[in-house]
Structure 1
Amino acid sequence: MSDTALEQAVQKLRADGADEGVVAAFERRFAQLDDPEAGFMRGTDLEPVEDVPALEDLPDADADPDASANANANPGAPAIAVLKLNGGLGTSMGLRGPKSLIEVKPGHSFLDVIARQAAGRPLVLMNSFSTDEATRAAGVDARTFLQSREPKLREDDHAPVAWPADPTLEWCPPGHGDVYVSLAASGMLDELLADGVAWAFISNSDNLGATPDARIPAWAQAHDVPFVMEVVRGTPADRKGGHVARRRDDGRIVLRETAQTPPDDDSFTDVERWRYYNTNNLWVDLRALRQLLRQDPAGPRLPLIVNRKTVDPRDPGSTPVLQLETAMGAAIGAIEGARAVLVPRSRFAPVKTTDDLLVVRSDAYELHDDGTMRPTFDGPPPVVSLDPEFYKSLSDLEQRFPHGPPSLREARSFTVTGDVTFGADVAVRGDRKVEA
């Protein structure tokens, strides 16, 4: 049954025009599906990572973005492209358009700020089928390529699902681990290398702390490191995030996500033991990636993540399906010689909810001409907790803060319970709770 299901899925992929590398990567994920232990990592098989250099200890590099694009012209300052994952919709905030087009400061969207941060370097966006048209219409000066898509599989027999009511729902993205194969399949990898770009700095479009820092690729190139993951020191708030560890059997660094932990393994949330957590800010030597893809068009051997949903996510009674995904950070365990670098938490400030958006929009951060969002507070950033019943969507947030966000630069925490509308010139200082 599985062989027939795979044949049907591959046929559907090829009819959709999928590149052979995309097909090969899907076939690998499908094969992993037959192993119930595929991707699982037990804490007893792992050890903490000890030897993680800190960004502040790396030597300076000549980071002049106007220098020659030839990566060999100055080995100390390799040419960098800024690559942003731009496939997400703002569904968590009640939107149906690209999340990156949400305004973060008056008149400036995520993409506007990112374009400033690129500072003359090539800016590349990996769009999804859902975000491509709207992103192009926004007129941001960037190169784009499409993330691939694959058939959703029926949970019962693993055959590609049919959904005549809306055929677009038969497809799903294969997770951001697809970036390596799609970069090549689109021709963007060859284009960047032909332009003399040696390294790609890859991060999520909602993380405005992820600005290019030439010290990292300069250090990596000097030490023959083809892949670098930026990590932060773990706190209790990170206990559900992906952490790095070292495999006992071969000493290789790996990334372990929640979905890769067996149900009977309670070691995952021990932030003191695992210490270092993934920011999803990654540095990839494009020359090494091209060589890897020539040897294996399916790309780095990434662990499988099975996402269980219904074919129509808005209809829990629709056909149960599996989405076969991978995480791009997992390449740290698949690329020989990969390393991690400890960075300040200011480089890891993703905006996932309206709570996060309120902080970024407030005076707790100032937008500078170079695109950096510099904190104005001392100590950790303010923690905002807005009642999700009334503030979850962007329209709800803006309706209840009609005069803009309150001052948060002197806040430690701000909790709102119930339906509260705020006036102008509100300032939060210290720890404050407001109840309707």
Structure 2
Amino acid sequence: MSIGVTTPETSSSNSCNRCCLCTTTCTNHITKNNKNNKKKKKNNKNNSRGHSMSSVCDAAKKCIKIAMEANVVMGQMERPAEMCLEVQHDIEVAMEKELNELVIATAAAKQEKMETDLKDFQAEFARFLEHRPHVDWGEIEKLPNGATCQMVLKTIPSKHLANPPQLESYGTLRERPLPTNVAALLQKLVVVKLNGALGSHMGFQAPHCLLSVRDEHTFLDLVVEQIEHLNVTYGCDIPLVLMNSYLTNEETQKTLPKYGHGNVRIKTFLQSRFPRINKETLLPVSTPDLILNGADAECWHLPGHGDFYASFARSGLLQQFQSEGRQVMFVSNMDNLGANVDLHLLQHMLTPPERCAPCHFIMEVTDRTRADVEGGTLIHYEGKLRLLEMAQVPYEHVDDFKSVSNFPFFNTNNLWISLAACERLRRTNSINMEIIANQRTLSNGLNCLQLERAIGAAMKCFDNALGVTVPRSRFLPVKKTSDLLLVRSNLYACRAGALHLNDQREFQIIPLIKLGDEFTQVKDLQARFANIPDLLELDHLTVSGNVAFGKDVVLKGTVIIIANHGHEIVIPSGSILENKIISGNLTVMDH
């Protein structure tokens, strides 16, 4: 593998520019040190690639160290601040050398994929060195709570009115009647599920999509059932596309044959895999020896959903679906059980209202709650709607970002994207997303960085991008066992693969459930609940300590159960708990 590294422009002066955070002038450090570095490499080959910077001079190392230490923000990292071009060039050359060696060490059957992934990584790494993810806080224009398209237009400076951003309510979209030929709409749709994650955060060591959600049906079962229902009902052919990762692809592929006799065409493609980089050296953690010995599992990571655009285009599916006459793709997270195909949103993408320009990108947003304060929000910035993630927020404004009153909307990651616009932007290399470097600590204590991008961050690249405020019901993620307890309960009814809040629940607000460490894993949930309690009238449940539930328990109002350390609480079968606090030790035996 070989990717050219651009040589920085030479300065007419006798010394290069001073790195802004480094007190040492990098005086001609490349010309003076390159020869010495080459000699050192020949005589003393570095046995721990990715853990040192033998190919970067001491002045560069000092600059990087100082810059890195100055840019730690809430667990994320910025690029080394304002490094000079010579230092940046040295780092890129060193990185290219290390990546080439990783490709060479890879088994022949996997080399092509490895080379493709590392080319993508190297391009993103160069952007990481060049650009900061932070926004200029003073230039942000907040979107008012309850805003509609017309309200937003009034808040935008006149200099931006030539290309105004839009925010619309889902209720307004529903006011438009649907066409009589719904099948014609659906025939232009592709459904994409982001299927890169394992369920390991709940102790499920398999793809998250294979976790049982309702009546032994998995996430993937429910998605297939939803699309099959639409295909059968309307006589159409909506394809389902899964973006798998190196973590989920093998097990997911083994499962797909069971859907072979259904009325759903399933396609898959593989997203990239990026190397983690040493925080101190900015070189890969992985080494050829680790690859050859199969000991490099911790050295790699998923580059975030922003990898979708490049990987989807590279798979050939983008071109294939366009040749079939498909125009819109609905992209969402696999674990969001509220992300169902919506005909009104699809209609708005395909046939905009009179006097409205065609929309090429819709981001579904919903009312932000205290549980969502660290997630992405929607802002108006530099004349366009765009996604703002917490990692882009300057440290001194983190509390402002977390304020629900300041930023009332939350990104659900339900996205509607024009295939033609996606193809056009890809062809002109015009899709750009902010790079966020998240810090991680490996099991050996090594601090490293992983470069990630959010798929919604490309919103600013699309013409006439639109934010639609949708009901909270379209955001139903299952990331913790408390979420799993909710969706398995009688709070929800399942119809044609889609979950709907039970009509018998008096209030449409979802109960707040907090489960202690004893309930973290799926096996814990199953062991401590003989069956799922009746939660139809529950408002708030907190459970902590060694607590177990018998069969057919009913929970109403606010219920708090806390077992003291060393004690046990067993809720008897058939118990009805309404507005109760139970603590200490309780065991009821059958007589």
Question: Above 0.5 in TM-score?
Answer: yes
Which one-letter code corresponds to 1:150 in the other structure?
F
Unpaired runs of 5+ residues, structure 2, are 1-89, 105-110, 150-166, 232-237, 260-265, 564-591
Map of 2:448 onto structure 1? 321
Q: In terms of Rg, which structure is larger?
A: 2
**Structure-2 residue corresponding to 1:276:** 409
TM-score, normalised to structure 1, is 0.90
Equivalences for residues 282-293 of structure 1 within 5 A? 282-293=415-426
Contact 2:92–2:126 (CA under 8 A) maintained in structure 1: no
CA distance in 1, matches of 2:128, 2:100: 18
> CA shift at 1:6, angstroms?
3.3
Cα distance in 1 for residues equivalent to 2:516 and 2:431: 41
1: distance between equivalents of 2:94 and 2:449?
A: 13
Task: Tell me by how many angstroms 1:12 deviates.
Answer: 6.0
Residue 170 of structure 1 deviates from its aligned partner by: 2.8
- Partner in structure 2 of residue 55 of structure 1: 170
User: Does the aligned pair in 1 maintain the 2:204–2:211 contact within 8 Å?
Assistant: no
Q: Is the 8 A contact 2:270 2:311 kept in 1?
A: yes
Q: In 1, are the aligned partners of 2:336 and 2:477 still within 8 Å (CA)?
A: yes
Q: Specify the alignment match of 1:400 in structure 2.
A: 528
Note closer, same or farther for the CA distance 1:78–1:13 as it changes in structure 2 (3 Å cut).
Answer: farther
- 1:232-281, CA deviations, whole angstroms, 9 ceiling, x for partnerless residues? 0222332221111011xx31111111111111213201211222110000
- Indicate how the Cα distance of structure 1 residues 19 and 110 shifts in structure 2: closer, same or farther if over 3 A, else same: same
Flag the 1:361–1:316 CA change in 2: closer, same or farther, 3 A.
Answer: farther
* Paired amino acid for 2:217: H
- Determine the C-alpha separation between the residues in 1 that align with 2:379 and 2:115: 33
* Aligned partners of 1:13 and 1:23 also within 8 Å: no
| Contact 2:364–2:414 (CA under 8 A) maintained in structure 1 | yes
Residue equivalent to 2:16:
none
Please point out which of 387, 390, 398 is paired with 2:516: 387
Instruction: State the 1:227 CA deviation.
Output: 0.8
Deviation at 1:157, TM superposition (A): 2.0
1:403-414 equivalent positions in 2, closer than 5 A: 403-414=530-541
Give the 3-state SS of the residue equivalent to 1:97 in structure 2.
strand
Q: Who is 1:302 aligned against?
A: 433
> In 2, Cα distance between the equivalents of 1:361 and 1:394?
12
Q: Deviations over 1:77-132 (max 9, x none)?
A: 66111100111001110122001111111120111011122233211100111111
**Per-residue Cα deviation, 1:7-61 (whole angstroms, up to 9, x for no partner):** 13653686632499866643442123225x6111243220113432112211243
Report matched runs for 1:199-210 at 5 Å. 199-210=328-339
Change (3 A) 1:11 1:191: farther
* Consecutive unaligned residues in structure 1, runs of 5 or more: 68-73
Q: Secondary structure at the match of 1:428?
A: strand
Q: How does 1:27-426 map to 2 (within 5 A)?
A: 27-35=122-130, 38-49=132-143, 50=147, 51=149, 52-58=167-173, 59-62=176-179, 67=183, 79-118=188-227, 119-120=230-231, 121-139=238-256, 141=259, 142-163=266-287, 164=290, 166-221=295-350, 222=352, 223-247=357-381, 250-265=382-397, 266-296=399-429, 300-310=431-441, 313=442, 315-317=443-445, 319-368=446-495, 370-376=496-502, 377=505, 378-388=507-517, 390-401=518-529, 403-426=530-553
Supply the AA of the counterpart residue of 1:214: L
Separation in structure 2 between the aligned mates of residue 9 and residue 252 of structure 1, nearest angstrom: 39
> Matched residues in 2 for 1:320 and 1:271: separation?
33
Q: Deviations over 1:181-239 (max 9, x none)?
A: 11011112122222222111011111010001122132133231111100002223322
Structure 1 residue identity aligned to 2:139? D
Look up the match of 1:70.
none
Question: Looking at both structures, which has the greater relative contact order when contacts are Cα pairs under 8 Å and sequence separation is at least 6?
Answer: 1
CA contact (8 A) 2:421 2:462 kept: no
Partner of 1:71: none
1-structure distance, mates of 2:101, 2:463: 34
- CA–CA separation in structure 2 for the residues paired with 1:18 and 1:262: 36
**Which deviates more from structure 2 when the two are superposed, residues 142-151 or residues 1-10?**
1-10
Distance 1:91 1:24 in 2: 29
**Separation in 2, partners of 1:288, 1:213:** 21
- Residue identity opposite 2:211 in structure 1: I
3-state secondary structure, aligned to 2:330: strand
Q: Secondary structure at the match of 1:291?
A: helix
Q: Secondary structure at the match of 2:198?
A: coil
1:133 partner SS: helix
User: What SS is found at the alignment partner of 1:395?
Assistant: helix
- What is the SS of the residue equivalent to 2:362? strand
Do the aligned partners of residues 78 and 400 (structure 1) sit closer, same or farther apart at CA in structure 2, a change above 3 Å counting? same
Q: For 1:20 and 1:137, how far apart are their aligned partners in 2?
A: 26
SS of corresponding position for 2:121? helix
TM-score normalised by structure 2 residue count: 0.67
**TM-aligned CA distance change 1:252 to 1:13, over 3 Å:** farther
C-alpha contact 1:21 1:185 (8 A) present in aligned 2? no
For the 8 Å contact 1:63–1:214, the answer to whether it is kept is: no
Report the CA distance between 1:374 and its aligned residue: 0.7
Give CA-to-partner distance per residue, 1:341-381, whole Å, 9 cap, x none: 1110000010110000000011111111x212011132211
Cα distance in 1, alignment partners of residues 115 and 239 from structure 2: 27
Answer whether contact 1:78 1:217 (CA < 8 A) is retained.
Answer: no
CA contact (8 A) 1:19 1:185 kept: no
Let me know the Cα RMSD of the aligned residues: 2.2
Counterparts in 2 of 1:275 and 1:4: CA distance versus 1, 3 Å: same
Which residue type is aligned with residue 402 of structure 2? T
Counterparts of 1:205 and 1:77, CA distance in 2: 20
Name the structure where helix makes up a greater proportion of residues. 2
Residues 80, 201 of structure 1: alpha-carbon distance in 2 compared, 3 angstrom cutoff = same
Structure 1 distance, partners of 2:557, 2:245, is 41
* 186-195 or 275-284: bigger deviation: 186-195
Q: Counterpart amino acid of 2:415?
A: L
Give the number of equivalent residue pairs: 416
3-state SS in 2 of match to 1:189: helix
Q: CA deviation at 1:62?
A: 4.0
- Name the amino acid aligned to 2:527: Q
Give the Å deviation of 1:337.
Answer: 2.3
* Structure 2 residue identity aligned to 1:283: W
**Equivalent pair of 1:48/1:275 in contact (CA under 8 Å):** no
- CA distance change for structure 1 residues 391 and 224 in 2, over 3 Å: closer, same or farther? same
| Matched residue SS, 1:196 | coil
